[in-house]
Structure 1
Amino acid sequence: MTGHLSFPRQHARTQRFSLGAPRAFSVSPDGSRVTFLRSRTGTDRANLLWTLDVTASREHVVADPLVLLGGADEELSPEERARRERSREGSAGVVAYAVDAAVELAAFALSGRLWVAGLRGGAARELAVPGPVADPRPSPDGRLVAYAANGALRVVAADGTGDRALAEPPCATTTWGLAEFIAAEEMHRLRGFWWSPDSDALLAARVDDAPVRRWWIADPANPGSAPAEVAYPAAGTPNALVSLSLLRLDGGRVDVEWDRERYPYLAQAHWSAGGPPLLLVQARDQRTQAFLTVDTETGATRVLHVDEDPKWLELFAGVPAWTSDGRLVRVADEAGARVLVVGDRALTGPQLHVLAVLDVTGDDVLIAASAGPEAADPETGEAHVYRVDERGVERLSEEPGRHSAVRAGEVMVLSSAALDRPGARVRVLRDGKQVATVTSYAESPVLTARARLTRAGARSIPSAVLLPTGYREGDGALPVLMDPYGGPHGQRVVAAHNAHLTSQWFADQGFAVIVADGRGTPHTSPGWEKAVHEDFAGVTLDDQVEALHALAQDHPLDLGKVAVRGWSYGGYLAALAVLRRPDVFHAGIAGAPVTDWRLYDTHYTERYLGLPQERPEVYARNSLVTDDGLSSPASPARPLMIIHGLADDNVVAAHTLRLSSALLAAGRPHEVLPLSGVTHMTPQEQVAENLLLLQVDFLKRSLGLG
């Protein structure tokens, strides 16, 4: 079926081989069921909701969008489109769901309508409520479903009766129960309300984005369409106002009080039987954050712990949380390492670099971690699952690769990717022994990635080297393509086959492809990540150059023909490379680049560069559109292609337009490829395929290759 497809077409059609792969697992407390999402085939965008009977090792469909909608096309509200863009969700159908505590009832939104499904064999059914519906979540006891609609937070019984609003917006700029742009885009907090463990109240976020400045994103290809208004909090400008209230089902409301002037960011919330509501709030400069508990009777908060850092504090999935016996779980940077802290004790040390907390009980904590700064034999690009308790640390994932897990009781779903095979293998383990598997329908790629993971240079920069398929010693030096992301939160050098497929395809076009994760990327230690403080341009570019020159000592690299490509931060880095180091880089492709950091959002940009009104010299030094950003007119002008989606509301097209204007004013030749109707993602099949082909043509042209 796929043998006749080119890799670019298959890569686009399968959405980077993500379609058909199972994801979003929930395990019932008794270990009898695993619920998950998966589409029917490796090219079908529509996810179905499934359950796996662990004992019988049998899967069945719980909710099929094709059946539920009667074959009609899915209709998405503007709010749902924006939510999917924030979460980088490119699929369709059931893209998210939530369950009750027993994992017996699931709730989900489909085409803006509310659906529930019994997970013990019941059929999915629609609840007639006002829409469009966003983020429906069952109460822990399964009797009710709360959801956001038209700015209000509402609740309805699971049988569809008694629908009512718990909180309604006073004006058009206010919403209840939804995450604001900056929380969803940068804090990875995609939700805005949390059920009480007793199912009698909700902790709800109230967001007023009236202070946020408005931008307008037009569609130049359709001049008859009005521009879309976007509330975008650019660096140094006001954020949305976020507050919290406890909304009781009996109609009572208690406003939660904390020092929002000092801590304006609501980074995360947690409410479980282990203790009262738990908040993590951050200062605007992100150098201070506080863990707070909430008095549910008065709304008053109490400080449990305060973290401080001279550069910034990171946020982590799964924390803060309570253990079931009431101890605070957090991740902290201590003594040069990133460690798991439970109560007042660090339970991991510098041998591990904690990435996320996966599950918490009163007995232990399940974490994902990579090798830390003092690991005896660090595995490049690997991430493993560990069980941590007062007695020590036990690694649960065995084979080399990248692993993640979901757990309840004695049953764990372990998802494992490796360098030597495509996709991910999903196994269900009980007490460490495999009792079932979850099938993947993802397609197998038409090519095989042969990435060699290594460390380069004096700084031991994690790197991947990919040569053309069939390349043999003696074939001679190859033109080089640097293929980085290279910035915060973007790890590319990973021990997973599919992560290197596009790089391998470029290698098969006749290049030696180098992927280097320099300082600033999430590797090994807090110090590695925080080396980019106030210096994106110098540090990340220096490390690309160091990795290139170090790898040239034992790989067939033609340093007279070096190109660089990247998207988003990688696009910034690619443009930076050809503008500031034309002695090293001879051509570049910058996709959706951030060129002027004053145009990027508050929480991300200010974390690294500070406030632009206080540190204008830092912004100038890291910009591509100032005199600091452009190379000397006397230096050689290297070919540069800039690609940008005109509908991008994350890195807006103004970044590319300003860079193009600056280059034109400086007499610098360049090419601009505008993509009509394309956002920061490029999910359209034809666009994604042809983008790869056009890039190869540009690279060969620019480097003088046949």
Structure 2
Amino acid sequence: MSFPRQYARTQRFSIGVPRSFQISPDGRRVAFLRGRHGTDTATCLWVAEPDGSERLVADPRTIGDTGEDLPPEERARRERLREAGGGIVSYSVDRAFTRAVFTLSGRLYGVDLDGASAPRELPASPPVVDPVLDPTGRSVAYVSGGAVHVLDVDGGDRVVAEPDGENVTWGLAEFVAAEEMGRHRGMWWSPDGVFLLAARVDDTPVRRWHISDPGSPETAAQTVAYPAAGTANAEVRLAVLRADGSGGPVWVEWDRTELPYLVTAGWTDQLDGASTVVLTAQDRAQRTVRAFAADPLTGHLRELWTETSEVWVEIMPGVPAFDSSGTALRFGVDADGERVLYRGDQVVSAPGQYVRALLDVDGSRVLYSASPPDRPQDVRLWLYDGQEGTRAEVLFPGVDDPSGVHSGRLVGGTLVVQRRDLSAPGVRTAIVRGAGSERSVVAVESLAERPDLPGVNVRLRRLGERRIPAALVLPSWHTPDSEPLPVLLDPYGGPHAQRVLGAQGAYLTSQWFAEQGFAVLIADGRGTPGIGLAWEQAIHRDMAGTVLDDQVAALETAPDAFGVRLDLTRVGIRGWSYGGYLAALAVLRRPDVFHAAVAGAPVTDWRLYDTHYTERYLGHPNTDPERYDRESLLVDAPGLRRPLMLIHGLADDNVVFAHTQRLSSALLAAGRPHTVLPLSGATHMASDPTVSENLLLLQVEFLRDALRLG
């Protein structure tokens, strides 16, 4: 089987990898999702027992529903999550870890985690979206038809909040929250299971866009509420609802005129010794984030802390949180201008670390991820004990080398840790229970396929005066005496996505391109994560020039830094989304350096992209319209003189097809030849295996022809 076909049918080698871990409060049981093998798209729910055995709890194929008939709300939710899997893609458990709920094809199912009974369908009102089991295990909250329902496990389904307007929904995250803020949920149970905190979203002010597929003229266009830069956002409010349906909503009101973005919401029982609402909100310019606590009985609000920035305040995963003493965990910026993790007023993270996320708080212990100084390719785990005031790095069991990309969970003294590194393409997972002589380690097997490649031949360096993190991927057959290779740049290059990592899996597609006769160069220039705040914020008000300059600098310094002969007279570049913008930008503005480009789903005019992302970097278009003009690719269209392939899904509701259509029209008006590859039925991620396979083949054919490879 060819690599492109294998890459497509394994969904980028993600099928069969254990994921979505949840740990029982006593640390004994661990639940997770995984397919039966590397091409099984019907993801199953499993439980790992203390003795190391794994038990299959729910298999969609046995149930008779592989979850392919999705309601529109669930399809949109998965698109925001970039969830391409099938079967059971998410699940919710109760606090005692006795049962779980999940959906298949918009129908609600429950299962006992002890294996005492088979999964059973629950009498909910379909289509069911995003069910959440209450902590006591008595009830399930879910969304159907824009209303929040509560279903008692023993029977009885009631509506506790329903739309009061044509464009109103309850219990779901709005577009910008799910796409840009990392908040994918719109309802949260109180710890005692008495209350639900729910978001009410009114999309009435948001502009309507109409997305159609010319390949299916019999299908009506999809109407979406898309908040493009400079236009109105959805109106979001929060209310506390009684799960038994009694009484009316208790509104939690903050100054939504000053702080219109609801960033996070939820509950804690650590703050005041009782169930307390906690939320954070952000201003439209994204220079202020405030945290609040609210009384669920009255809605009375008090401010906990405020974080401000002259540039923007980054939304960080895992916060706010509270340890067992009620002390808050939050991110902030220290006197040196670097991001740090605080416990109260005390800095938890080590000096020089690039902190990435708060992963878990287990009593007084805090698990977080960070990169050590000068090792942006590594993502490592640290455990801080607030009671002892100590910090220690968490190593993968049996591995002394701390390098690589790690992730983890910590509950009830049990640690689940995953490791990706440069020694192999896959993922290793271990469950670590206890400590000292009581310590036990159990492996959770990955069933993902191994890529059909002759290894990954990658080298990592820091390039040029700015010490840009870079990776060079060479063909397996390359030797020091080989002829100079044409170069293919393969960046993302923008915020929130790091390509240069200490993990083989990050370079599989690049290695396949290398085997076709390229030296593949990947550079994480300014704007990407992993270095520091100044590095990330260097693209403020300059999304084009800064990132392009760094790609050019990386290319020019690569031959000497890597000690490899490269043919800089034949340079191509490919990318997707922001990487697609960067690829098209490269051939339009620097044709002296770049000789061909493949731009997938590119943003071509930032006025067509969403408010929260675009205004963070470029400001409001009404304030500085000239800046938006300078960052647009449309004004550069008359200058194209290099081969350019544009690829775009016609059903993309994130970077809509209008981006490629408008650039193509501008190129046509200027008489500039180019190639457009429209993908019928495809969204921002091409999930059809045949399409995914052929996309790789067509890209390499285009690049080989454009760069004159024999």
Q: Counterpart of 1:7?
A: 3
Structure 1 residue runs without a partner (length 5+) = none
State how 1:166-185 maps to structure 2 within 5 Å.
166-185=160-179
Which of 202, 205, 210 lines up with 1:208 in the alignment?
202
Taking the aligned partners of 1:387 and 1:72, their CA distance within structure 2 comes to 39
Task: Report the Cα distance in structure 2 between the residues aligned to 1:305 and 1:572, rounded to whole angstroms.
Answer: 37
Note if 1:483 corresponds to 2:478. Answer: no
Shift of 1:666: 2.3
Partner of 1:145: 140
1:689 matched to 2:693? The reply is: yes
Kindly provide the CA deviation profile for residues 415-457 of structure 1, in whole angstroms up to 9, marking residues without a partner as x.
Answer: 1111111210000112354421111110011112222111111
Q: Which moved more, 1:325-334 or 1:174-183?
A: 325-334
Instruction: Give the conservation status (yes or no) of the 8 Å contact 1:347–1:389.
Output: no
Q: How do 1:114-129 residues align onto structure 2 when only pairs under 5 Å count?
A: 114-122=108-116, 123-129=118-124
- What's the TM-score once normalised by structure 2's chain length? 0.95
- Share of identical aligned residues, percent? 55
> 2:176 & 2:221 partners in 1: Cα distance?
21
Letter in 2 for 1:298: T
Task: Establish whether residue 196 from structure 1 lines up as the match of residue 198 from structure 2.
Answer: no
- Contact kept, 8 Å, 1:644 with 1:675, in 2: the verdict is yes
Rounded to whole Å, the distance in 2 between the matches of 1:19 and 1:346 is 39
The one of 59, 67, 73 aligned to 2:62: 67
Name the SS for the 1:155 alignment partner: strand
Once the two structures are overlaid, the 10-residue window that deviates more, 297-306 or 561-570, is 297-306
Write the mapping of 1:205-284 to structure 2, written as runs, cut at 5 A.
205-250=199-244, 251-252=246-247, 253-275=249-271, 276-284=276-284
Aligned counterpart, 2:286? 286
- Name the stretch that deviates more: 16-25 or 426-435: 426-435
Render the CA deviation track for 1:555-586: whole Å, top value 9, x for unaligned.
22111000100000000000000000001000
Partner of 1:366: 367
Distance 1:257 1:16, change over 3 A: same
Cα distance change of structure 1 residues 331 and 441 upon mapping to structure 2, 3 Å threshold: same
1:401 and 2:404 correspond: yes
Structure 2 contact 415–431 (Cα < 8 Å) conserved: yes
Structure 2 equivalent of residue 493 of structure 1: 500
DSSP-derived class of the 1:552 partner: helix
Measured in 2, the distance between the counterparts of 1:34 and 1:357 equals 20
CA deviations on 1:479-522 (whole Å, 9 max, x unpaired) are 00000000001100011111100000000100000000000001
2: CA distance, partners of 1:71 / 1:246 = 34
2:523 corresponds to which of 516, 524, 529: 516
Which ranges of structure 2 fall in alignment gaps of 5 or more residues? Answer: none
Q: 1:532 matched to which residue of 2? A: 539
SS at match of 1:533: coil
> Which residue in the other structure is 1:586 paired with?
595
Could you say which residue in structure 2 is the equivalent of 1:26? 22
- Map 1:602-617 onto structure 2 (within 5 A): 602-617=611-626
**Which deviations, in whole Å up to 9, do the C-alpha atoms of 1:604-641 show, x marking residues without a partner?**
10111111111111111111012xx447x4xx711101
Contact 2:67 2:86 survives alignment (8 Å): no
Quote the Cα distance in structure 2 between the aligned partners of 1:231 and 1:112. 22
Give me the whole-angstrom Cα distance separating, in 2, the residues matched to 1:172 and 1:500: 47
Equivalent residue for 2:450, pick from 444, 456, 459: 444
State the alpha-carbon separation in 1 of the partners of residues 564 and 182 from structure 2.
39
Determine the C-alpha separation between the residues in 2 that align with 1:40 and 1:337. 44
Residue 103 of structure 1 aligns to a residue whose secondary structure is coil
1: distance between equivalents of 2:33 and 2:228?
35
What is aligned with 2:316? 316
Equivalent-residue separation in structure 2 for 1:110 and 1:72 (angstroms): 7
User: Paired residue for 1:560?
Assistant: 569
Measured in 2, the distance between the counterparts of 1:593 and 1:369 equals 30
Structure 1 window deviating more from structure 2 (605-614 vs 394-403): it is 394-403
Pairing 1:347-386 to 2, within 5 Å after superposition: 347-371=348-372, 375=373, 378-386=374-382
Measured in 1, the distance between the counterparts of 2:448 and 2:556 equals 38
Asked if the contact 2:209/2:225 (under 8 Å) is kept, the reply is yes
Q: Tell me the SS of whatever aligns to 1:21.
A: coil
- What corresponds to 1:325 in structure 2? 325
AA matched with 1:646: L
Q: Provide the C-alpha distance between the structure 1 equivalents of 2:125 and 2:222, rounded to a whole number of angstroms.
A: 24
Q: In the alignment, which residue of structure 2 is the partner of 1:644?
A: 648
C-alpha separation between the residues in 2 aligned to 1:118 and 1:172? 38
SS at match of 1:286: coil
- The aligned counterpart of 1:82 is 76
What amino acid is the match of 1:337?
Answer: E
The answer to whether the 8 A contact 2:491-2:579 is kept is: yes
What is the CA-CA distance between 1:172 and the residue it aligns to? 2.8
563-572 vs 546-555, greater mean Cα deviation: 546-555
Structure 2 Cα separation of the partners of residues 340 and 401 of structure 1: 22
User: Is the counterpart of residue 99 in structure 1 residue 102 in structure 2?
Assistant: no
What residue identity is the alignment partner of 1:393? Answer: R
Aligned-residue offset at 1:32: 1.5
Specify the alignment match of 1:465 in structure 2.
472
Aligned to 1:659: 663
Q: Which amino acid aligns with 1:163?
A: D
Describe the SS at the equivalent of 1:142: coil
The CA distance in 2 between the partners of 1:327 and 1:88, in whole Å, is 34
Letter of the 1:498 counterpart = G
How far 1:364 moved relative to its partner? Answer: 2.0
- The residue aligned with 2:432 is 429
Deviates more, 1:343-352 or 1:416-425: 343-352
Letter aligned with residue 25 of structure 2 = P
User: Residues 72, 524 of structure 1: CA spacing in aligned structure 2 closer, same or farther, 3 A cutoff?
Assistant: closer
Q: Once the 2 structures are TM-superposed, how far is the Cα of residue 324 of structure 1 from its aligned partner?
A: 2.1
Is the contact made by 1:336 and 1:350 (CA closer than 8 Å) also made in structure 2? no
Alignment counterpart, residue 456 of structure 1, candidates 460, 463, 469: 463
Cα contact 2:42–2:66 (8 A) shared by 1: no
Q: Which amino acid in structure 2 is aligned with residue 145 of structure 1? A: V
CA distance in 2, matches of 1:19, 1:65: 15
Distance in 2 between residues matched to 1:450 and 1:384, nearest whole Å: 23
Q: For residues 156 and 701 of structure 2, what CA distance do their matches in structure 1 show?
A: 61
8 Å CA contact retained: 1:484, 1:570: yes
Deviation of 1:71 after TM superposition, in Å, equals 5.5
Aligned amino acid, residue 142 of structure 1: G
Q: What SS does structure 2 have at the residue aligned with 1:698?
A: helix
Question: Partner amino acid for 2:434?
Answer: D
Instruction: Calculate the aligned-residue CA RMSD, in Å.
Output: 1.3
The amino acid across from 1:600 in the alignment is Y
How far apart are the structure 2 equivalents of 1:350 and 1:508?
A: 41
Counterpart-to-counterpart distance in 2, 1:236 and 1:301: 30
- Tell me by how many angstroms 1:667 deviates: 2.5
Quote the offset at 1:389 in angstroms: 3.3
Query: Cα offset for 1:31?
Result: 1.7
**What SS is found at the alignment partner of 2:333?**
strand
My pick for the range that moved more, 309-318 or 386-395, is 386-395
Question: Matches of 1:380 and 1:524 in 2, distance apart?
Answer: 6
Aligned-partner residue type, residue 136 of structure 1: P
Structure 1 residues 638, 465: closer, same or farther in 2, change over 3 A? same
Residue 258 of structure 1 contacts residue 300 of structure 1 at CA under 8 Å; is this kept in 2?
A: no
**TM-score, normalising length: structure 1:** 0.96
CA contact (8 A) 1:380 1:454 kept: no
Amino acid at match of 1:598: R
Q: Which amino acid aligns with 2:392?
A: E
Q: After TM superposition, give the deviation of residue 361 of structure 1 in Å.
A: 3.3
